[in-house]
Structure 1
């Protein structure tokens, strides 16, 4: 009987000690959470008393802490991107707008010669056209990120689409005294994509190549059993490897002084459109050549 009584007392003491230790850990965890909330510390929850259930609770709390850190970092990145976007948009719109307003003031003078008036009118028209391109890029980028961005995915022939796009750049190639090198196989290569979106991707890539190329632009199309690849390459000796990591960033320009014309959105839009069509767009430097590669899984009809 005495042994039973002693055993009961010991068991009661054990459970009492366990409860006291658990209460101590709970108070410690509560204190650590309070310090985190008051921004006194940024550490995770630490336990001194090893208990399986308390460890599970601490792990779940620490997972929430990790998610909170990630969300805070993402919020800061988004805020910084938004500030950069507003700054870039303001800069890109202000420049042509200032020019337009200035030359309109000149045009209000009734005494300027007709030839000068014609020149000023052309400058205003060019400025308005540039504003139109800027606003279209900003608008397309904004709606492209929405889940319901309209795409008509169907089987399209790249053999037909590529020449159709290049015809639109005939005058631009002539002005730069360049002739595109086009390598398209005789086999009809098809992909599942949106025709207008693929055209926009190609237009942005060709325009980028025309702006920065120091030589001929090469457009090549090839197909393997698992992949369809459309590549656009051009000499780019001014480009550095570190530029490749930012080429598809919004508003990025290799010319950091922003002397280039354009929004810096063309490649970002092209990459976004390719991803919308379950494809990919990448860039690489190969012996001084910038190579842009559009890739689709080879699921199109042969």
Structure 2
């Protein structure tokens, strides 16, 4: 009698345990089917789809991990889409900014070559062609800088540099250009050595791009370049009294391909300031801008000082 009761109890427990296992298996199968449907939906292009799970479900950890993978994938896809859109705009800009001056350049040279113009007018045509050829070269140089900066193979050669002397050597080549453009200039560089870790070519490109930006876009009559140590940073300011930048444009001035309606002329790639920002950040620096329309613009570059 006792044995029969024991056997019945054991049978009941086995059946109960089997029922629980079957329920768990059914729940897991249903969850796996839901996960499969969700993954098929994601594969079809619905990047917002996520796999829902309850913490106490056996497949919860797997669901959360898959959601993390999908989220990371969507973020990477978003970056790729943004890069694709940027490249599309870049190719459109390249088509216009290269073909237009190149067509004009060929027109001037053809006119001079065929003898359509003679004497002083021919010389003027050749001079115009020369200037446009230099503008085209400058544009292509900027493009190469941008592509190089955004290449996975790009690497800076960082070294400890005395920044005041380096800046002095860079700016001395600009003085004849300032005088040729009738641009009043004021340069204030400290006699005390100031050291920072920078890439020589990268730092030179930053200063040259910012000075060229003043000459090309600002319509300024005066430029001032000053360097000083402010606490633990070396601060370089490049200021002009030109047409300035509109308030609405200031937050976007360092974006790729961004051109202000007024603060920057049609001439230019829209890449120069983006290159400056990227280059500064790759050397642990930063750049900011302040401007008041028709009054002034000040670009400030800061690098950590090294003793």
- 1:102-181 aligned within 5 A: 102-110=107-115, 112-149=117-154, 151-181=156-186
Within the candidate set 3, 9, 22, 2:9 is matched to 3
Match of 1:69 among 54, 70, 74: 74
Q: 1:258 and 1:289 mapped to 2: Cα distance? A: 13
* TM-superposed deviation, 1:40: 6.3
Supply the distance in 2 between the matched residues of 1:39 and 1:195 (Cα, whole angstroms).
46
Q: Say which of 23, 26, 29 aligns to 2:32.
A: 26
Cα-to-partner distance string for 1:1-55 (whole Å, 9 max, x where unaligned): 13232222222211211111111111122122223323468421123x6534311
Alignment match of 1:292 (pick from 286, 299, 305) = 299
- Displacement of 1:205 in angstroms is 0.7
Write the deviation string for residues 123-157 of structure 1: whole angstroms up to 9, x where unpaired: 11112111211222212222233354464433322
TM (norm. structure 1) is 0.87
Could you tell me which residue of structure 1 aligns to residue 259 of structure 2?
Answer: 253
1:151–1:62: structure 2 CA closer, same or farther, 3 Å change rule? closer
Report the Cα distance in structure 2 between the residues aligned to 1:257 and 1:275, rounded to whole angstroms.
24
Alignment of 1:146-295 (within 5 A): 146-149=151-154, 151-210=156-215, 211-212=217-218, 214=220, 216-235=222-241, 238-255=244-261, 259-285=265-291, 289-295=296-302
Deviation per residue, 1:227-259 (Å, 9 max, x gap)? 222121234664233323322222221138985
Question: TM-score scaled to structure 2, two decimals?
Answer: 0.86
Structure 2 equivalent of residue 54 of structure 1: 59
Aligned-partner Cα distance in 2 for 1:199–1:249? 21
Root mean square deviation of aligned Cα? 2.7
Unaligned segments of structure 2, at least 5 residues: 1-5
Deviates more, 1:20-29 or 1:235-244: 235-244
Alpha-carbon separation, structure 1, partners of 2:16 and 2:285: 69
